[in-house]
Amino acid sequence: MFDAWHDWNIARRELAVRAPEVSAQHLGEALAFAEEAHGDQMRPAGEPYVEHLLEVVEILVSGAGVRDEDLLVAAVLHDVVEDTDRTAGEIGERFGSRVEKWVDWVTKPAPEAHEDPAEVRDLYLLSLRSAPPEVLLLKLADRFSNVQRLDTHPRPEKRRSYYRETCRYLVPLATGVPWFEAAFEEWRKFYRHLEDGEPATA
């Protein structure tokens, strides 16, 4: 379970030990940008949004062994374009073209009026098959954060559908990716009861 870096003070101390080559100042600037953009947004289970962003960084550093500073900055900013009014161009101006490109890759496009949202989502997930290695690491860490406590989601049907979606699209992407392949396989087995559904209790 990756939930130890729930605030920036803890994350900064851990980074100094685990990844001293990463600039805490640079990452802190990205986190401040993300916190301002996300404002008072909360996660489905009610936790502050920043905790998810730091979880993704924790998974990349402590799980996958990532030390690429730009990739960790992209992890902090990965939902900014999708979930706020900030643009990819703003991210590029502040944090560079690599970060902008990777955030753009993981940003799910909003469906047009004539488009089926489910189809747009499926096409987005399918497009990740051709993503650069850094994008795969970022997306896998993001999804692992989202599903590591899948049983806390307030809607049982969402637990089932998210489990199925993860197994269909994300687990195959983890094949051959160090650390994530084993992590997602263990996760899949742990939540296997969701394959056939569970009684809706909420």
- Which residues participate in catalysis according to the annotation? 82-83
Phi, psi of 42 (to 5 degrees): -125, 160
**Cβ neighbours of residue 111 closer than 8 Å, sequence gap 6 or more:** 117, 120
Q: Are 102 and 79 in contact (CB under 8 A)?
A: no
3-state secondary structure of 47: coil
Dihedral of alpha carbons 134, 12, 85, 154, sign: positive
Cross-strand bridge partners of residue 42: 48
Q: Which residues pair with 48 in a beta bridge?
A: 42
